[in-house]
Chain A
Amino acid sequence: MPEMTYSAALNKCIREEMLEDDSVFVIGEDIAVWGDGGGVFGVTKGLVDEFGPARIRDTPISEEGFVSMAVGAALVGSRPIVEIMYSDFLTLVMDPLVNQAAKLRYMFGGQAQVPLVLRTNLGASGGKAAQHSQSFETWFMHVPGLKVVVPTTPADAAGLLKTAIRDNNPVIFLEHKMLYFTKGEVPDVIEPIPFGKASIRREGTDVTVVATQTMLMHALKAAEAFSEEGVSVEVIDPRTLVPLDMETIIESVRKTGRLVVAHEAVERAGWAAEVGFHVSSQAFDYLDAPIVRVCAANLPVPYTRDLEREVIPDLNDVKEGIRACLKGETYSRGGRADNEQ
């Protein structure tokens, strides 16, 4: 299997699907000719040369407009892939996503389908500050009618995107800025990876860590470090948040008796709470310690390095969270905003 970056794996998947199906097109800002040929993070690099500017379509800076147009295109037979340059700009497209894409099939009694993929990227990546660093995945979990995908490895990114493009319903596909240039093996021909199947990244017996993207990378390093102390950490990557594979998580907690959930979204009402709720209601008797979550502080993401580090969890925070769980202690890095209203 060839090794390639996350960005190149996404590119390969889009190319394969565009070759396979003429109704697939990509629409977004600066996706055709920016940089060295496509997209701020290179995901659509070179595709305009092969498919032309009608199917790799650069747009004006009109996020609400082109997302709503993608919904309309999807209703009558196209399969649009929309790129939003930074997930922070999702605030501008909430109506077409929440009131239109997520609703039309249901609201019209099954007459409509909206095969739409919205790709964007989450997360802080060093100095991008409060409006280019956020992680909004939980917002979309709260909207019935949207699937939510959070891939971490290049192979998962490609395989899950293939499933997303072939899905007849809207999918919010959330990449991560810090992962675009990480490398991994990707199959020669990308096979679709089903939604709702978590991946056990590392097997263990003492504590379960559920994490995505950068936090998953930290969790795997933390697990390695703990193994040197004789602590066996199981690391689970849910891969999709809607649908969410609680079965795999609960089975793991029944084995380990301890759960840590780590995400880069802010702690308050983040998806760790959802996972924690299900585990406490379905595996209560198996828990040997309070559930721990390691999340961003309940703050905007600040610019300067040390302040950004204060807000976004790092490897040490994930280790601290795991250690707290092993000791049966509570842990929170959400901060004062949570307690002092």
Chain B
Amino acid sequence: METNIYEFDKGIYGFEDYRRYDIFSPFDNSAFQMMEAEKDRKIGFVLVPPNYVTQEYTIDVEEEDLLEIGANGLDDVVVLAIVSFTQEENIMSVNLKSPIILSMTSRKGKQIILDQSHYSTRHLVEVKT
């Protein structure tokens, strides 16, 4: 299984002390990935490309954020959204308002907040199995 460590200089919101994450694809369904804190594997998130759960997900990534993760242009950036599983069967909640951006070349990441966007932190989606 391929594993990759990404550095999050500021952690992610609410988890500022966790700065190194292993992001890998343990699932058959390759769209979904796992992101686990290197120092505590219990701190884990399921990630999905936003376009997998919504049509026409377009965001403005600011120059400052690209600089911060050392991205070499937009082609170098991967955007992923954090998935939360709800009490209801087959319904997952996807945070489209504050996605994770990753630079493939610098192996750095950041969670950004799209303050002015209409995207929700709880975009509900039916799980297709």
A and B bind: no
